[in-house]
């Protein structure tokens, strides 16, 4: 980036949403995981959407305009409900991903579908898992 920091970009031809990075047990933690473990100073994460009729970046950044149309955390409607700044967002990702990793390493295998009806709607294993 012009300011000497780095942007993490994930090229997508399918659906992708910033909302999948937010909150507890994020649905799509790949870029947050890269961001918290990068050795470099990361100041933006974004999907580069390569879809007919939708060629654009969609992401979050420390400040607006680091990448075209990518907002700062403080002005992104969904993100600012979870963090007031980029640093707070990344700290939240670190805490959440550390907790998930520790639970996984400890063998936590409780059945806790994140969005019960939506998560389980196409699954036939309810009789086995008890959800
Ligand atoms: S019904 Fe299927 S998706 Fe839902 S918790 Fe059980 S195994 Fe998981």
Give the containing element (helix H, strand E) for 9: strand 6-12
| pTM of the complete model | 0.89
- Cα separation, 117 vs 123, in Å, equals 10
Q: What is the percent of the chain where pLDDT is above 70? A: 100
- pLDDT digits over 16-61, tens only? 999 999 999 999 999 999 999 999 999 999 999 998 888 999 999 9
Ligand 1 atom, smallest distance to 126 CA: 1
Question: Which of the pair, 65 or 103, is modelled with greater confidence?
Answer: 103
- Top mutation candidate among 125, 127, 128 for ligand 1, by most atoms within 8 Å of CB: 125
**What are the residue ranges spanned by the domains of the chain?**
6-119
Length of the chain: 131
């Amino acid at each position: 980036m012009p300011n000497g920091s780095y942007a993490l970009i994930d090229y997508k031809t399918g659906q992708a949403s910033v909302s999948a990075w937010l909150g507890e047990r994020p649905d799509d933690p790949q870029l947050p995981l890269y961001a918290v473990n990068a050795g470099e100073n990361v100041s933006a994460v974004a999907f580069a959407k390569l879809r007919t009729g939708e060629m654009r970046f969609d992401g979050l950044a420390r400040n607006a305009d680091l990448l075209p149309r990518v907002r700062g955390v403080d002005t992104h409607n969904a993100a600012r409900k979870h963090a007031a700044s980029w640093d707070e967002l990344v700290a939240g990702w670190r805490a959440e991903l550390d907790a998930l990793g520790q639970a996984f390493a400890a063998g936590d295998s409780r059945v806790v579908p994140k969005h019960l009806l939506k998560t389980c709607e196409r699954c036939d294993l309810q009789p086995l898992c008890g959800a």
